[in-house]
Amino acid sequence: MEYPTLITIGSDWPAPAARLSPERVTIHEFGHQYWYGLVASNEFEEAWLDEGINTYTTGRVLDREYGQRSRGTTLAGVPLRGYPLLKLPSPPEPEPTGIRPTPLGLHLPPSPWPADLEELKPAEWLLLYRLGLPTNSLLGGFRDVPFLTYLPDLPTGAVDGYRASYLAGPRKDMVQRLAWDYLDRASYGLNSYDRPALVLATLERLLGDETMTRALRTYQHRYRYDHPTGRDFEQTVSQVAGRDLGWLLGPLLRGNEVLDYAVTSVKVRELPAAAGVFGQGDERRLRGPGDSRPGQPPKAPAEDASEDQEATRFRNEIVVRRLGAVAVPVAVEIEFEDGTVIQENWDGIYSWTRFVYEDSRRVRRATVDPQRLYAIDLNWSNNTRMARLSRRPVARWSLRLLLWMQNVLTFYSGMA
Ligand SMILES: [Zn+2]
């Protein structure tokens, strides 16, 4: 908790070191000495100005100091590493049904497994079972057994964390809103902490680290011992960036619409060879579907090799769509099967655009926003599309799923 010149922190016990349990909150509360301690924005009327900016700067410090780290979870009150990807249903404690947001935007059914078992100390194991079994019903206790439902390690950075929170309710409210006027407590948290942090992370990716840092420093210096508003922040950032950023910050801070771009189709079709009359004078040739015509002598192959043995040509067609109401300019990267990559730019305003290449090469895949500049894009899993199905990931994931199912069945047959 933060107070001017005084902070208090707490930690979970026995938290694995990777959870950064006291570190995160220490950095966060210290950050408040700046974001509303020195720069005294109104934490009731514009909560995002202190909690949002502070969540963003906390994330930057954590990323720089600790790099990619494991997402944590709690199992029967015990903090663990790991991510509950396949949590089984728990009858005694009904869980919110529906979808679970993940950093990628994939929506998986709610579920629990993977602590980093290697790192778990015996005392932690003991606690895990002692605390886990009596507090839940039999099924409720066993559903959280780490082998069964946890992904052991899911390394993530700050942006993945903001995304996982944001995706839980992206359309409930807008960021710029009185703290007591949000739909519910969860929406207050999402719109004051993680969503504004995600907006700022998007801004950082667009402006670059150096400009973003300079903008924050300028805001801090300019409004130290003062009471700035969200507009002051936006104006400062635009001024430092040297361009008006209202086109982006307006819809992201004062609207509840989402940003989502997707490659919705990549089609490759072989073009029929061109037919007709080619060349001039003596070189005149009639070329039809059969390459020659009755009454005309067949061409000598060697002579016309360069002209007639043209490589097969393909029509490559890529459709990119804007699925959200927020419209921004985006880059589209197209990779051909020979490895060449070209980049196109789209203003992103109309609801879709199409790129067509008639070429001797086939397109392998297309990606919209390949650098993932728009950290706030609702669904990253639809940003890339392949022209042909790649079977390798399908086989890999099917094997993993089979292994998981075997584990689950072995476990429950052992219990019976
Ligand atoms: Zn805070």
Report yes or no on 331 lying in a domain.
yes
Place of tokens 């514009």: 46
Q: Which two tokens stand for residue 125?
A: 């194991």
pLDDT digits (tens, 9 = 90+) for 156-172: 789 988 987 888 889 99
Q: Are 360 and 340 in contact (CB under 8 A)?
A: no
Give residue 215 CA to ligand 1 midpoint distance, Å: 21
Report yes or no on 353 lying in a domain.
yes
Give residue 38 CA to ligand 1 midpoint distance, Å: 14
Is residue 92 predicted with pLDDT exceeding 50? Answer: no
Report yes or no on 36 lying in a domain.
no
Report yes or no on 134 lying in a domain.
no
Taking the C-alpha atoms of residue 162 and residue 52, their distance in angstroms, rounded to an integer, is 10
Residue type present at position 403: L
Q: Tell me what the mean pLDDT of segment 363-391 comes to.
A: 89
Give residue 371 CA to ligand 1 midpoint distance, Å: 30
pTM for the whole thing?
A: 0.74
Give residue 55 CA to ligand 1 midpoint distance, Å: 7
Taking the C-alpha atoms of residue 265 and residue 366, their distance in angstroms, rounded to an integer, is 9
Give residue 31 CA to ligand 1 midpoint distance, Å: 8
Taking the C-alpha atoms of residue 42 and residue 230, their distance in angstroms, rounded to an integer, is 10
Report yes or no on 114 lying in a domain.
no
> What is the domain extent for residue 265?
257-275+308-388
User: Would residue 348 be called left, alpha or beta, if left means φ above 0 and alpha means ψ between -120 and 50 degrees?
Assistant: left
pLDDT digits (tens, 9 = 90+) for 224-271: 999 999 999 999 999 999 999 999 999 999 999 999 999 999 999 999
Taking the C-alpha atoms of residue 404 and residue 98, their distance in angstroms, rounded to an integer, is 22
Higher pLDDT, 296 or 88: 296
53-66 and 158-166 are packed helices; what angle lies between their axes, rounded to 10 degrees?
140
Higher pLDDT, 372 or 102: 372
Is residue 401 predicted with pLDDT exceeding 90? Answer: no
What is the number of structural domains in the chain? 1
Give residue 252 CA to ligand 1 midpoint distance, Å: 21
Report yes or no on 151 lying in a domain.
no
Give residue 375 CA to ligand 1 midpoint distance, Å: 22
Neighbours of ion ligand 1 (CB under 5 A): 51
Give residue 66 CA to ligand 1 midpoint distance, Å: 20
Higher pLDDT, 246 or 87: 246
Report yes or no on 248 lying in a domain.
no
DSSP bridge partners of 113: 150
Strands 78-81 and 72-75: antiparallel
pLDDT digits (tens, 9 = 90+) for 17-50: 777 888 999 999 999 999 999 999 999 999 999 9
Taking the C-alpha atoms of residue 249 and residue 195, their distance in angstroms, rounded to an integer, is 12
pLDDT digits (tens, 9 = 90+) for 205-216: 999 999 999 999
Give residue 28 CA to ligand 1 midpoint distance, Å: 6
The size of the chain, in residues, is 416
Q: Which two tokens stand for residue 113?
A: 């497994």
Strands 363-368 and 384-386: antiparallel
Report yes or no on 193 lying in a domain.
no
CATH code of 363's domain:
2.60.40.10
